[in-house]
Structure 1
Amino acid sequence: MSLRRTVLVVAALNAVWFFVQMSVALAIGSVSLLADGVDYLEDTAVNLLIAVALGWSLTNRSRMGKVMAFVILVPALIAAWQAFTKFRDPFEPDTTIMLLAAVGSVIVNGLCAWFLVHHRRGGGSMTKAAWLAARNDVIINIAIIAMALLTMAVGSGWPDLVLGVIILVINLGAAKEVWEAATEENLAAKAEAGETGCGC
């Protein structure tokens, strides 16, 4: 499968599971699932940017990147609000549903990592970063499964809340990274335009 088709498939998988996981997380009140859901939108954005980078100009890539950075912030703010409100009453979420969602996440991220592994060396730094992100997401999903089992054992919502805050802090840097990447593209576009303008 070509690189463009691969990243589009990975982006589609992440986009679909983003809506699934966010819906489940909001329904059962799981902060960790909600925070992890933000990561799916980040991965969607990154893989779309890779696909775009294969055909769009630097300027257009920069603009899209900045739009994606703002898009990522929306679910992150929702997750932050959920964590804040749950500090008052850290109730135990439905651990059975949480386990099923986490297992589904392992499958989705495992598929994404498998698709990207064939391009991690020849697809450039962004493609390698996307593969590493998918691989690391599997580890986070396994942590959520372990936390769900701990929550079930102790009968408290604190494990879910603590893990959710940790994941949220990690993923809040996603919007910043996408914005910085878009800014670099913009600077590169200006440099390219400057070179063209001077006839060098």
Structure 2
Amino acid sequence: MAGCQCEHHTSNHNISKKFRNALWIALFLNLSLFIIEVIAGAHAGSAALWADSLDFAGDAFNYAISIMALGLSLYWRASIALVKGYTMLFFAILILVKVIWAYCTGVQPEAMTMGVIGIIALIANVISALVLYTFRDGDANMTSVWLCSRNDAIGNIAVILAAVGVFGTQSAIPDLIVAAVMASLGFSSGYHVVQKSRAERQANKTGHLA
């Protein structure tokens, strides 16, 4: 029995190590694309790119939390997640303000820049999803980070479609629609994270103080 427990412990340790390495790769990719899309969004005047950069920022923060959470109690994981939730809300509001400003000024984004950056972002998310694919059937933490990358690839496709729409219609409306939808989802997700984090902090507060 002792030998079985040791083997099980070693197996879990190896899985955790591989998962940590996968998270670092995903973190680097998402943080890099966040910076790239913020700069490209400002250059191209694209609200959709800015909205997608919100996803990359949130994901990078999520991966960082997942790395730190490997050795933390639920109370502190919830505390860190609470910061993430408020950050997501802030960025979502910022993107909605950008959408309103772009609509009022009537500035048309550069479709070519949107499309190129959208494709690059899609590739980055596909790589992240493939790296995390092995852990898709693990615990809730492992499953969530893989689904995060997989779902973001869908957002990248939306940006590419927005670029096609801008190019075809010579209008900023497709870009603004995609940005508004993504910002709304970001706001909804941020609110959900805040509510869940508060509940988990409250539920584990007694044990933490003890």
Question: TM-score range, shorter-chain basis?
Answer: 0.7 to 0.9
Taking the TM superposition and a 5 Å limit, the aligned residue runs for 1:37-116 are 37-116=53-132
Any conservation in 2 of the 1:113–1:134 contact (CA below 8 Å)?
A: yes
Higher mean alpha-carbon deviation, 172-181 vs 84-93, is at 172-181
Report the residue type matching 2:20 in the other structure.
R
2:52 to 36, 44, 47: 36
In the alignment, structure 2 segments of 5+ residues that lack a partner are: 1-16
Cα-Cα RMSD: 1.9
Distance 1:97 1:11, change over 3 A: same
String of CA shifts for 1:83-129, please: whole Å, max 9, x gaps.
0111213332111111111001101100110111011112x113212
The alignment status of 1:118 with 2:96, answered yes or no, reads no
Query: Which residue is 1:182 aligned to?
Result: 197
Distance in 1 of aligned mates of 2:29 and 2:199: 27
The alignment status of 1:158 with 2:196, answered yes or no, reads no
Distance in 2 of aligned mates of 1:4 and 1:180: 27
The alignment status of 1:149 with 2:136, answered yes or no, reads no
Distance 1:183 1:150, change over 3 A: same
- Select the structure of larger CA radius of gyration: 2
Distance 1:42 1:100, change over 3 A: same
Distance in 2 of aligned mates of 1:153 and 1:117: 36
Report the residue type matching 2:202 in the other structure.
L
What is the aligned residue count?
194
TM-score for the superposition, normalised by structure 2: 0.84
Report the residue type matching 2:192 in the other structure.
E
1:127 to 139, 142, 154: 142
In the alignment, structure 1 segments of 5+ residues that lack a partner are: none
- Displacement of 1:53 in angstroms is 1.8
Q: Percent identity?
A: 24
Any conservation in 2 of the 1:58–1:188 contact (CA below 8 Å)?
A: no
Query: Which residue is 2:3 aligned to?
Result: none
Query: Which residue is 2:9 aligned to?
Result: none
